[in-house]
Amino acid sequence: MSLAPQNNLSSSASVSDAPSNSLRDRLRAATLARTGLTPYEWQLDVAEALVQDKDAILIAGTGCGKTLAYVMPCFIDPKTTVIIVSPLNALEQNQAAQFSKWGLRATAVNAKTLSETPKLIEGISGGFFQVVITSPENLRSPQMLRPVLTNPEFTKQLKVVVDEAHCIYLWGPKFRPAWDQIGDVRKLVPHRVPFLGSTATAPPVVLDKICTSLHIDKDDHVFVNLGMFRENLVWEVNIMDASRPLVEQLDFLIPNQPTIENFQGDERILIYVNSRDIAHIICYYLRRLLPPHLRDRVAVFHAMRSDLAKEWLLYGFVNGLLKIMICTEAAGMGCDFPRVHLVLQFKTPDSLISWVQRGGRGGRDGMRCVCRLLVEPSIVAQKGHKSVEEHASGKCDEDGTSSDGDEMEVVYQKKCDTTLREYIMSKQCRWKFKDDYFQNPPHGEPTAECCDNCRNDASQPPEPRTIPPAAVPVPNQHPPTPQVPATAPRAHNRTGEHLKAARVALLDWRMRAWKRDWQKTTIYPQTLLPDKVLDAVAKSQVVQTIDDFSRLTTPPWMLAADYGAEVIALLDQEDSKHERAKQEAAMATQAVKEAQAQLQKRMKDHKARERLKDKQRKVRTDYEAQKKKRARYEACINANETWIGRPPKKASSHSPTPPSSPTPFLLEMGAQAGPSGECTVLGSIGQAVVHPDTHGHASGSENMPPPGTA
């Protein structure tokens, strides 16, 4: 029985110039007896290198049979122990189950297996298990396998295999530093223990990193490079429409009138995403397009799912119970999914290596599989140019342009791995591009179906359709508010307290909506309404319809069709409250101004009255002083004494009490009205009394002392 089509594979190296036929024959016979599979020559190369304690690097495409080569030495020597370093616990369990089917004693070492088998480490140290699968963290942990690696008996026939070795480059040292430190284990084991780095994608920079990290001598190791060409994979790139929510552009996956027959075939779909939140949003959206009895055919797989859920999902997908699985990197490494005819990558991954790894999960059984990369418009949208010198120094001319003659570099709206962007925008055969980048060995000419660039009519998804949210109600889903424009026109951005109030209201709504609809999932509130969208919506007052959300941010808010009406109604209420508050504040300000004006008027009147009272008091004071002075004068005259100075005037017999309504002029002059209407003007020296005569004319008298009087 053959493992894979032989003409897909070619080895670029062998173990030695004169390989041991007897050893290879033994490996071939033992493998056939245990597995029923006839190993390829390259698998024999790898296995022979491990048996002969030689370091090795293996580059072979996904689904080519790398795993079998790891354990073939165990078929001919039961005392051999192979430690396989794996990136994911789910992958560890699957590999252990596969090895057990081949008659090998295999186990995974992680928190779950240790809790189930307390003496597991003791059994490994004693040599009971032939294959041990673990993570780099557990390999170096003092509570896990580190003490086992210092056991001389255990390391006599030890082989160390680093599966998915490209993770050393992608994940270490920032994401998972233990991957960058796997090579430190060589300090604990004898020098003769061989290390094998295995991956499907290793361009020169990744290959160099693998050798450096694992301390593999670049001039003294076995290098087997099969490349990653698989003629049954068709690679495509589609640029998504910037004017529509990106998630709605997956509508083509669901038939217009889905039936059970659409989901009973052997073909399956893998959708890869870059985060758990997006995975749940896509699952939620696609399920809305399905009738209730078919919604469980779409599921989400990621690292945060429980072990039981992961096992059920893998079983359901392998056995056809699931049609579409949306997954993160957790389902991308080492999982063998049969009958996958379409692999989608929703939004660009972090590198071309990641995309090739994920796309390679399709077509594992040899069936034709389309690997389609769905790219955000901002990845290819230009926002300007920079010269090479400007790019390096961050400088440009005063007018903002580069110097004449400088080579110009395009600046794009969104950052992206340079090689991946070149791949996306390339017009040449996509296999040719990957051959050049990964330095694949020569392979057969690709067919006309190898990629979208090599076809005359590039494959495009059908025109996406839109299903109103109310057309397919979702269980336990709060019905969306009808789409209506906001009642008040919004022409400007919110600022100050208005902006702060709108943002607080949106934060409160986001938490309430999350508790209402998503609390029982692993999605976070920030995914329901991302902070970037929340800030933009809170600031802008031009959002009056659901369509306005598509023009507000790039990419548009993916859940605008479901929650946009609620948000518009909420902001409309906030704007109304703000307008009422403004009106109330304006009325309060006007009332304060009127009160201040009245107060100022009262204060002015009060001061005027006080001035009048002061003048009246002065008149009385002058009158009393003059009266006293006249009294002293008369007393002096009566006593026949000499009065020095001018004699004072005779005081008026009338009281200086002011009239009830004196004329302003007379009041200013200190005038007083007499009892019969006469007006008395009091002076500082004398007093003049004006009386009306019988003819209506005023007459005056002035009493002065006789001239010459002393």
What domains can be seen in the chain, in order of their start residue? 6-227 (3.40.50.300), 233-388+409-438 (3.40.50.300), 469-569 (no CATH)
The answer, yes or no, to whether residue 590 has pLDDT greater than 70, is yes
- E strands, 201-328, are 222-227, 233-239, 268-272, 298-301, 324-327
pLDDT for res 522:
63
d(CA 84, CA 153): 19
Answer yes or no: is pLDDT of 645 > 90.
no
Strand partners for 60: 227
pLDDT band at 709 (very low <50, low <70, confident <90, very high): very low
The span from the CA of 15 to the CA of 82, in Å, is: 19
State how far the Cα of 45 lies from the Cα of 50, in Å rounded to an integer: 9
pLDDT for residue 467 is more than 60: no
| Mean pLDDT, residues 389-408 taken together | 47
Of 557, 555, 547, residue with least CA distance to 240: 555
Start-to-end Cα distance in the chain: 160
Residue 21's pLDDT band (cuts 50, 70, 90): confident
Q: Which long-range contacts (CB under 8 A, 24 or more apart) does 699-703 make?
A: 702/649, 703/649, 703/650
Q: What is the mean pLDDT of residues 582-599?
A: 92
Distance CA 497, CA 653 (A): 74
Query: What's the pTM?
Result: 0.65
Q: What is the pLDDT of residue 331?
A: 60
Between 122 and 655, the higher pLDDT residue: 122
Backbone angles phi, psi at 431, to 5 degrees: -65, -40
Query: Rounded CA gap, 602 and 8, in Å?
Result: 103
Q: Tell me which residue has tokens 């009332």.
A: 591
| Residue 334: per-residue pLDDT | 59
Q: What is the pLDDT of residue 90?
A: 66
- The pLDDT assigned to 408 comes to 60
Whole-angstrom Cα distance, residue 170 to residue 192?
28
Split at pLDDT 50, 70, 90, the class of 471 is very low
Q: What confidence score (pLDDT) does residue 662 get? A: 46
97 has a pLDDT exceeding 90: no
Comparing CA positions, the residue from 373, 366, 422 lying closest to residue 235 is 373
Tell me the percentage of the chain whose pLDDT exceeds 70: 78
Average pLDDT over residues 356-364: 89
Tokens of 695: 């003819």
> Alpha-carbon distance 84 to 86, whole Å?
6
Mean pLDDT of 71-100: 87
Tokens 């959002």 correspond to 543
Q: What is the DSSP letter of 640?
A: T
Q: Is the pLDDT reported for residue 391 higher than 50? A: no
Alpha carbon distance 126, 100 (integer Å): 19
- Burial class of 329 by CB neighbour count within 10 A (0 to 12, 13 to 18, 19+): buried
Residue 173 has pLDDT above 90, yes or no: no
Question: 3-state DSSP call for residue 109?
Answer: strand
Task: State both tokens at 705.
Answer: 């002392």
Q: What b/e readout covers 524-539, taking b as 16+ CB neighbours within 10 angstroms? A: ebebbbbeebbeebbb
The angle that helices 496-517 and 531-539 make with each other, rounded to 10 degrees, is: 140
Report the alpha-carbon angle 303-365-24, nearest 5: 100
Q: Which of 306-310, 405-409, 562-566 has the lowest mean pLDDT?
A: 405-409
Q: Is the pLDDT of residue 355 over 90?
A: yes
Helix, coil or strand: residue 326: strand
State residue 656's pLDDT score. Answer: 57
Kindly state the tokens that stand for 608: 């005027």
pLDDT of 221 strictly over 70 = yes
pLDDT in tens, 240-267: 988 888 888 999 999 887 778 777 777 8
**pLDDT surpasses 80 at 161:** yes
pLDDT at 46: 95
What's the CA gap between 81 and 155, in Å, rounded? 8
Q: What is the mean pLDDT of residues 47-75?
A: 92
**Can you give the pLDDT at residue 557?**
84
For the record, the structure tokens of 138 come out as: 């557990």
Q: What is the pLDDT of residue 209?
A: 92
Residue 197 banded pLDDT, cuts 50, 70, 90: very high
For the chain, count helices (H), then strands (E).
Answer: 23, 19
Is pLDDT above 90 for 342?
Answer: yes
Q: Cβ distance 227 to 64 under 8 Å?
A: no
Q: For residue 110, give the 3-state DSSP assignment.
A: coil
pLDDT at residue 399 greater than cutoff 60: no
Evaluated on CA atoms 580, 581, 584, 586, the torsion sign reads: negative
Residue 657 clears pLDDT 70, i.e. is over it: no
Scan for tokens 């189930």, then name that residue.
116
Burial class (CB in 10 A: 0-12, 13-18, 19+), 649: buried
**DSSP 8-state symbol, 364:** T
Q: Check whether 676 has a pLDDT greater than 80.
A: no
**Selected residue with higher pLDDT from 244 and 422:** 422
- The dihedral built from the CA positions of residue 560, 563, 569 and 574, taken in this order, carries a sign that is negative
Closest CA to 345 of 464, 250, 465, 467: 250
More confident position, 438 or 669: 438
| Residue 384: per-residue pLDDT | 63
Q: What is the pLDDT of residue 450?
A: 87
Mean pLDDT of the chain: 79
Residue 4, pLDDT > 60, answer no
> Quick one: CA dihedral 303, 308, 309, 315, positive or negative?
positive
The first and second tokens of residue 133, run together, are 């699968």
User: Rounded to an integer, what distance in angstroms lies between the CA atom of residue 127 and that of residue 512?
Assistant: 56
Rounded Cα distance between 198 and 559, Å, is 41
Nearest-angstrom CA–CA distance, 170 and 181: 13
pLDDT tens digits, residue range 104-125?
Answer: 999 999 888 888 888 999 999 9
Higher pLDDT, 411 or 493: 493
Q: Higher pLDDT residue, 103 or 687?
A: 103
pLDDT at 130 over 90: yes
491-546, pLDDT tens digit by residue?
578 998 999 999 999 999 999 998 888 777 767 788 888 888 899 999 998 888 88
| Residue 659 reports pLDDT greater than 80 | no
